[in-house]
Amino acid sequence: MTAERLLAKRFAALEAGDFATVYATYHKDSPFTQQFSSRGTYVRYAEQNLSAIRVKNWCPLRQRQLDDKQLEYLLVMELEVAGETKHFYELALLINTSDGWRYHSAQKLTVEDYPGPPEQIQFSHFDQVEQKIRY
């Protein structure tokens, strides 16, 4: 499976509320799996706290190869939260493992962080953020 297909699978699962599949896309050493050490724990949390969030649209804008096993994807997302549409940018780190590509973590920006046109956002916008919080 290509890295882009992993992202498509992940967003399709988010759109469908299939949180078990979302969990399965994570890399075993991700910050996420440090917080949710079991699939069941995450699925219960997600059903209670994330099921009201709807993925309306997402699009990979560009990618950069960090090394032979790591890619970063710059994504734009449109989510609906409590009837309100919100736009986010995500810099997702994907790692190629013996089991295929896995989602490791991401840094997010809001439209307040980058108010320009989506097609013009660059990796440098994420690189310049002082506190690089990865989820």
Distance of alpha carbon 20 from alpha carbon 42, whole angstroms: 8
Residue 93 lies in a domain: yes
Q: Which pLDDT value is given to residue 48?
A: 93
**Do the domain assignments include residue 134?**
no
What separation, in Å, do the N-terminal and C-terminal C-alpha atoms of the chain show? 23
38 is a domain residue: yes
Query: How many domains in the chain?
Result: 1
For the full predicted model, state whether its pTM sits above 0.85: yes
Percent above pLDDT 90 for the chain? 82
User: Is 135 among the domain residues?
Assistant: no
Q: What is the CATH number of the domain that holds 16?
A: 3.10.450.50
> What are the backbone angles phi and psi of residue 101, rounded to the nearest 5°?
-70, 140
> Closest Cα partner for 103 from 113, 93, 88?
93
Instruction: Report if residue 50 sits inside a domain.
Output: yes
CA distances (Å), origin 81, targets 1, 23, 51, 60: 31, 21, 10, 21
Q: 91 with 106: CB under 8 angstroms?
A: yes
Q: What is the pLDDT of residue 82?
A: 86
pLDDT digits (tens, 9 = 90+) for 5-58: 999 999 999 999 999 999 999 999 999 999 999 999 999 999 999 988 999 999
Summarize pLDDT for 67-117 with one digit per residue, the tens: 999 999 999 999 998 899 999 999 999 999 999 999 999 999 999 999 999
Looking at residue 81, its pLDDT comes to 87
Task: Tell me the H-state helices in 1-135.
Answer: 3-16, 19-24, 31-35, 39-49, 123-127
Instruction: State yes or no: pLDDT of 134 exceeds 90.
Output: no
Domain that holds residue 33: 3-127
Helices marked H in 36-91 — which ranges?
39-49
102: in domain: yes
